Structure 1
Amino acid sequence: MTSFSKLFTSVFLALLCSSAAVAAPYAPSAKYATHRMRLVGRDASLKVEAFHPESTYETFGVDGLDQAHAKRDNFDLKGAAVSFVQSKLGVDQNAVTFKSGYEGDVTKHAYVKQQHAGVPFANAVANVAFNNDGKVVAFGSSFVKTDKIASPTPTIALSDAIATAEQALDGKYNNHPATLEFFAQPDGSAALTHVMQIQNEDTGTWYEAFIDAHENKLLSVTDFVAKASYRVLPINKEILTDGLEVVTNPQDTTASPDGWHSDGSTSTTVTAGNNVIAYKGSQSSTTAETSSGLNFIYTQNPNQAPTTTDNVHAATVNAFYVVNSVHDWSYRYGFTEAAFNFQNNNLGNGGAASDRITVSVQDSAGTDNADFSTPADGQSGHMRMFLWDETSPERDGALENDIVVHENTHGITNRMTGGGTGRCLQTTEAGGMGEGWSDAMADWSEAKGAPLADYVLGQYVTDDSGGIRSHPYSTSKSVNPLTYASVASDNEVHDIGEVWANILHNVQATLINEHGFSNTSKTNPDGTEGNIVYLHLFIDALPIQPCNPTFLTGRDAIIQADANRYNGANKCLLWQTFASRGLGVNAASHKNDATVPSGC
């Protein structure tokens, strides 16, 4: 989302493989990795403190870790993952259920859940990454150890639980199939919950509700919202004043083999296709081509209100173009059908289909913002772009590419972290990292060469060269002084995100300085230039990091991603860059450290 108050209390949960617990009282920032306060319901008057058991995380470098299935000729991802989790955590087979998995070009990914009596835990999950030799290269787990587990047979009917959720969250059950899942709680117990989705289309809220199946009360929520020729703002430009241009056949047929206006069976001449549908008001109000041949040539008039007909069409076309562009380049770097991307037709390549992104342009539900909702694989991601009223006439967020890219990236990071559930960037720190990745992707998309220039987000909609963040993203500490320790004084996800985004800006700059810059990075991921290496590490790290990552585990996942793809060639560069902003080897509890490994 292109903001959030926090309230914290002390908790303790015994974790499998956890060597230490933090005793209360302690700094509020210590709970960023396990909690997030949500203000929900009518007028946001209900406080719900969502809890997620802290994840443990290990990476195993270039060589990986041998395990029982490593040398088998026919590698069985499901069997290998379940077997490894059983052995690593000391649990029996009945305590582990395989959820999903897929094979990338350099790693294989498996996602499993803890279960009891055949019922899975909602918030006790694990992920295992294997290299192409079948060795484990990364393992994350939030499995819990508890003997206080509720009966697996509900005493509250699902219909009653739905009524409770609808009243508490001021919305309606959307008929997505409800599930029965255990929910690990801060006191060390596990409640049985009915899990269902509650939406309010008028206010734009979309929650997954966890209702105690024995006491009929709301325990927690997942918030899915992270607030042919075309005349458009080219994807490497940020703001409208850079100038609209006509771009011809921008689709990448490797990523979108049937183009942007067909799903393989149905073709359109409007802003709708396999990856995206963009509209104002309702999905029947898309923008049509201006002449035959898929020409979408609308001239935006900045002196007129954005709601005039041609300005609406120009904004809709631009949003359609940008979201398709992000689909295509992220596909090239690994956000494919099997990796839980957004497409109506998955063309036989795995994953769940019927989930293209819906983009509501000039959405009437808000101003001066934008958001993106990411439900699980198989349900459409939903982007809402609002008007900004800080200028006269108002300005349209759909015409500022960095805002559209930012929102779209929420879909990528929420889907790829945790195996396509949309549940694994829900703690305060992980939510902040989600905001940071979104800014960082916009930064990457508009980079123009070496050295990497300072980057400002949101200049056009605010008519302010300083943009909407507290500092430009920069390698200069005088321009941007933020470090890992800055997180300790932040309790809002966008503020936390600024720290992570600036660290990533520094990583990208370091790799560009070392390896050079490619002008074809969006269509050719096979080069060796620094901006290509950076985006590979950005995307590769997402599926191998644990559910609800922290800055520390996010750092470790990027370094492991380099080991997986580049045999650790950039290990010292990465460590030096992270350490320069406080994320050295001994960094912990939001206290800076500048130490790098020996040999670096």
Structure 2
Amino acid sequence: MVAFNKFFTSVFLAIIYASSSMAAPSPINSKHATHRTREIARGVKLETYHPASSYETFGEGIDHPLRKRDGVTFKESSVAFLQSRLGLQEEHVSFHSGYEGETVTHAYLKQTHNGIFFANAVANVAINKDDKVVAVGHSFVTPSSIAASEPTVSFEDAVATAEDALDGTYNGHPAEIKYFAKDSGSAVLVYAFQVQNEAAGTWYLAYVDAHANTLVSVTDFVAKASYLVLPITKEVLTQGFQTLTDPADTVASPKGWHWTGTTTSTTTSGNNVLTYKGSTSSTTSQSGTGLVFNYPQSASTAPTTTANVNAARVNNFYVVNTVHDISYRYGFTEKAFNFQQDNFGLGGSSGDRVTASIQDSAGTDNADFSTPPDGQSGHMRMFLWDLTSPERDGALENDIVVHENTHGITNRMTGGGTGECLQTTEAGGMGEGWSDAMAEWTEQTSATVKDYVMGQYVINDAAGIRSHPYSTSKTTNPLTYASVGTLNEVHNIGEVWANMLHNVYAALVSAHGFSATAPTDPTSTAGNAVYLHLFIDALPLQPCEPTFLTARDAWIQADVNRYGGANKCILWNAFASRGLGVNAKNHKDDATVPSGC
């Protein structure tokens, strides 16, 4: 636990201190998987709703209605399967997005009425290389009533309503007309458009009733050459800076890190990320010819000194690029909705590199990441931490940077690039857990799996910013699936998921060993490489608004897709050891594993 009681309550922050007690007095919350209460502006709270998802996996796969026909696209196959599975007419299902991955093809579908998409009634279908369906998730609804499909409120009036409620401004991104399923059973017609407040760091997709002119819901996009840097395998500055020469992986970044889509820069600006302070033109330039970025950091002086600002920008630029390259190798590519200015004709939407604001003036003691849809830049904000003298810079703690960047990965890959599918309390909590787990993956350096602590440098406390170290020891970390039922804050819920994944990682490394070259060699059979493949593969497989149960099932199915189910018992035993066994449900622990395990 941290050594002080300071606790941030804003729902927008993506790195947050653990509270002084993990065991909140609240009962099991049945709304974790469908609702989330957000403080949207000026203390006003809004409860958002997402229909419950149904999720099935099929191991080696089952047939779809068009399987034996020639010339059928995966778009047609996925729509036909969902129609057949749910007994729907053709006009009620529409293809939204999709891509062909290494092991399966992913299709993302939406419920439609009169040719209009539902915003929160979505589906995903995965089809393997044998043209069989291996997974399907959906949150389709049967409305008790449905609004007329022609708006009676003007778009300008709807914008005024959202801007007032969200204390922001419509950013001009194209608006859409959609239906929105409400928890009352009705479906309302809404205008869907983006509202931002850059100074406050908020960025929403607002849904305003196109007949009643009321704010119905929001999607929150914020999840709160040679370089002298802290290597990605290290967490804190005391482990020592090193000069790394040509660290770019040219498989993932074929024109290097400084290609901007039109030219090659000599600053902390490139195809994958633009790192700056204050304004996007305030980057760090090379300190020597040939893309040399050598800016020693001084721990005894304020982080705002010129030398330390440069050190922070360079380190952030290095870490974000490195995470881009690692995740690219394992499947977060252009067609899988990644962040790049130039997609080299390989699919997806371009023009969306990460923009990273260092020492952002909007806050302290935190960091966050905004994930809009594919084609709009992800935005990272790194703050100073004022708990020490001099202050410390979050951009110089690698685990915080990796954590933030991973929000972009999980939000883009879940649900088909929309950035809209980790919005419930439970799914949002898992988003925090994946981010911690990815940070840990980069810093485990041998087959000896160490307990892992987040955020120790910025607060100068070896206990870090979470309530417990991530550990296989139940004495060190007692969190189980049942803990989720006593928690109602996403970062605390995230600790439960991250610790489960720590146990999965440890089990796979114990079984298959460790490879130091896994970051650039996804063909490795070592446990850390197997783990990261399953980590990334499971994201597009799982349904929109996943729960612990459906995310677990996506990991099991991902193992069938890639490894023929070779790790089935390793995974089940690891999940069950923390209460997520076969019969787990309603946040009650179960240690049962399948027969034969």
Q: 2:87 aligns with which of 82, 90, 99?
A: 90
Within 2, Cα distance between the matches of 1:3 and 1:515? 40
Check whether the contact 1:5–1:37 (CA below 8 A) recurs between aligned residues: no
User: Matched residues in 1 for 2:344 and 2:153: separation?
Assistant: 41
State the distance in 1 between where 2:533 and 2:27 align: 35
| Alignment deviations for residues 82-111 of structure 1 (CA, whole Å, 9 cap, x no partner) | 101111111101001110010001010000
User: Which of 238, 256, 276 is equivalent to 1:259?
Assistant: 256
Alignment of 1:121-140 (within 5 A): 121-140=118-137
Which of 53, 56, 59 does residue 58 from structure 1 map onto? 56
Report the Cα distance in structure 2 between the residues aligned to 1:325 and 1:75, rounded to whole angstroms: 38
Partner SS, residue 282 of structure 2 = coil
Identity %: 66
Could you tell me how far 1:66 is from its partner in structure 2? 1.1
Q: Secondary structure at the match of 2:29?
A: helix
Q: Deviations along 1:326-380, whole A, 9 cap, x unmatched?
A: 0000000000000000001110010011000000000000000000000000000
SS for the counterpart of 1:450 is: coil
Counterpart in 1 of 2:476?
479
- Name the residue aligned to 1:577: 574
Instruction: Give the corresponding residue for 1:31.
Output: 31
**Count of matched residue pairs:** 577
- 2:541 alignment partner in structure 1: 544
Q: Do residues 407 (structure 1) and 404 (structure 2) align? A: yes
Give the distance between the partners of 2:237 and 2:421, measured in 1 at CA. Answer: 34
Deviations 1:384-441 (A, max 9, x none): 0000011000000000000000000000000000000000000000000000000000
Is 2:494 the partner of 1:519?
no
Residue 353 of structure 2: which of 344, 353, 356 is its match? Answer: 356
| Post-superposition offset of 1:67 | 1.2
What is the CA–CA distance in structure 1 between the aligned matches of 2:316 and 2:74, rounded to whole Å?
A: 38
Report the TM-score, using the length of structure 1 for normalisation.
0.95
Secondary structure, counterpart of 1:64 in structure 2: strand
| 1:370/1:397 contact within 8 Å kept | yes
Which residue does 1:467 correspond to in 2? Answer: 464
CA distance in structure 1 between the aligned counterparts of 2:9 and 2:77, rounded to whole angstroms:
41
Deviation readout 1:201-243 (Å, 9 max, x if unpaired): 1111001100000010101010000011100000111111111
| 1-structure distance, mates of 2:170, 2:28 | 34
Residue 281 of structure 1 aligns with which residue?
278
1:239 paired with 2:220, answer no
Cα offsets for 1:136-184 (capped at 9, x unmatched)? 0010000001140000000001111001110110010000000000000
1:32 partner amino acid: H
* Separation in structure 1 between the aligned mates of residue 548 and residue 71 of structure 2, nearest angstrom: 36
Alpha-carbon offset, residue 527 of structure 1: 0.6
* Inter-partner Cα distance in structure 1 for 2:363 and 2:549: 35
Distance 1:485 1:306 in 2: 42
For residues 538-561 of structure 1, what are the alpha-carbon distances to aligned partners after superposition, in whole Å with 9 as ceiling and x for unaligned? 000000100000000000000000
Separation in structure 2 between the aligned mates of residue 484 and residue 264 of structure 1, nearest angstrom: 45
> Is 1:48 matched with 2:49?
no
Whether the 8 Å CA contact 2:28–2:486 is kept in 1: the answer is no
SS in 2 for 1:162: helix
| Secondary structure at 2:317 match in 1 | helix
Contact kept, 8 Å, 2:385 with 2:459, in 1: the verdict is yes
State the distance in 2 between where 1:563 and 1:495 align: 31
Amino acid at match of 2:143: T
- For 1:155, what is the secondary structure of its paired residue? coil
Partner residue, 1:186: 183
- The separation in 1 between residues aligned to 2:8 and 2:116, in whole angstroms, is 35
Flag structure 1 segments of 5+ consecutive residues without an equivalent.
Answer: 7-25
Q: CA deviation at 1:453?
A: 0.6
1:70–1:133 Cα contact (<8 Å) kept: no
TM-score relative to the length of structure 2: 0.96
Q: Which runs of 4+ in 1 moved over 4 A?
A: 2-6
Alignment partner of 1:318 is 2:318? no
Q: Distance in 2 between matches of 1:453 and 1:577?
A: 16
Q: CA deviation at 1:68?
A: 2.1
**CA-CA distance at 1:4 after TM superposition:** 4.5
Contact 1:32 1:428 (C-alpha < 8 Å) held by counterparts: yes
Structure 2 residue 501 is matched with structure 1 residue 492: no
Cα pair 2:440 2:452 within 8 Å, conserved: yes
Deviation at 1:70, TM superposition (A): 2.6
| Separation in structure 2 between the aligned mates of residue 565 and residue 158 of structure 1, nearest angstrom | 47
What SS does structure 2 have at the residue aligned with 1:60?
A: strand
SS of match in other structure, 2:51: coil
Given that residues 229 and 314 in structure 2 are in contact (C-alpha distance below 8 angstroms), is that contact kept between their aligned partners in structure 1? yes
For the 8 Å contact 1:358–1:382, the answer to whether it is kept is yes
Q: Which moved more, 1:399-408 or 1:445-454?
A: 445-454
- Is the CA contact 1:261–1:271 (under 8 Å) kept in the aligned structure 2? yes
Counterpart for residue 99 of structure 2: 102
5+ long unaligned stretches in structure 2: 1-6, 12-25
Separation in structure 2 between the aligned mates of residue 230 and residue 97 of structure 1, nearest angstrom: 47
The one-letter code of the counterpart of 1:36 is R
Identify the residue that residue 16 of structure 1 maps to in structure 2.
none
> Does the CA-based 8 Å contact 1:368-1:388 persist in structure 2?
yes
Superposed, 1:132-531 pairs within 5 Å as 132-531=129-528
Letter in 1 for 2:153: I
